[in-house]
Every structure is written in C-alpha cells, then in structure tokens.
C-alpha cells in the first residue's frame, strides 16, 4: 500500500470532529484516492485513529466493529439507526467543506504543496 495514501487517509480520519462521521467516499474525495483504498487503509492501519468516525455511505460500520463503536458513539452523542448497523449519516456527517479546509491546513503545515494523493 502506498505510504502517502496511508498517511493522507489517517490524517483525514483524525480531523473528523467528535460526534461526526465521514464516509469512505468522503475521505477518498478529500485525499484523492478511491473509497476501497480508504477502506483498506482503515482496515489495516485504522486502529491508531478514530476509526469509528469513518463509515459506509449509509453510515454503517463493519459488523466486527459495531460493539466497540457503540460505546464511543455514545460518548460522542451519535445515535444508532434502528437496524443497529450504524448511524444516520445525513444527521451526523461532518461539515465536508470545513473538513477539507482543516485537511488542507494540516497538509500545508507538513510542508506539502498539495492536499491530494493519487493512487
């Protein structure tokens, strides 16, 4: 896996505010890669960041993460959908323009000339 993509995805995930979520596709668009690559990065390296804030486009989490995410979302005020698969993403999605601005600022602070990577 491309190290630049891994770092970009993990940085973007860390910038999602508490009580908010972003989809794999949201992060993919932000860092310039695909949703599947974001999912792969989160599966392999996501344990070091706030993984519970990264969901499917429906606001759902993988089955094996739901139990641990339940406590974290409760602390952050995120409510589960009735089906128990995740949250209503329309209600909890991060402010994407603000997330993009925070990501661009973080990347600029790291001395990079661009906020996106290509995979």
Provide the residue ranges of all domains of the chain, joining segments of one domain with +. 3-106
Residue-level pLDDT, tens digit, the chain, 119 residues: 899 999 999 999 999 999 999 999 999 999 999 999 999 999 999 999 999 999 999 999 999 999 999 999 999 999 999 999 999 999 999 999 999 999 999 999 887 544 555 44
Where in the chain does DSSP place strands (E)?
22-23, 54-55
Task: Supply the angle between the helices 3-14 and 24-31 in degrees, to the nearest 10.
Answer: 120
Q: pLDDT tens across 96-109, in order?
A: 999 999 999 999 98
Q: Which CATH architecture has domain 3-106?
A: Orthogonal Bundle (1.10)
Residue 85 corresponds to which tokens in the numbers above? 């698969």
In the chain, alpha helices (H): 3-14, 24-31, 35-45, 66-76, 89-92, 96-109
pTM of the model: 0.89
């Amino acid at each position: 896996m491309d190290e630049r993509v891994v770092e970009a995805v993990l940085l973007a995930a860390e910038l999602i505010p508490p009580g908010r979520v972003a989809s794999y596709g949201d992060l993919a668009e932000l860092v310039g890669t695909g949703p599947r690559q974001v999912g792969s990065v989160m599966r392999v390296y996501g344990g070091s960041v706030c993984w519970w804030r990264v969901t499917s486009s429906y606001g759902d989490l993988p089955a094996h993460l739901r139990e641990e995410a339940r406590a974290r979302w409760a602390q952050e005020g995120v409510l589960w959908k009735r089906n128990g698969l995740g949250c209503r993403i329309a209600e909890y999605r991060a402010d994407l323009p603000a997330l993009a601005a925070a990501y661009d600022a973080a990347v600029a602070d790291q001395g990079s000339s661009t906020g996106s990577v290509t995979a």
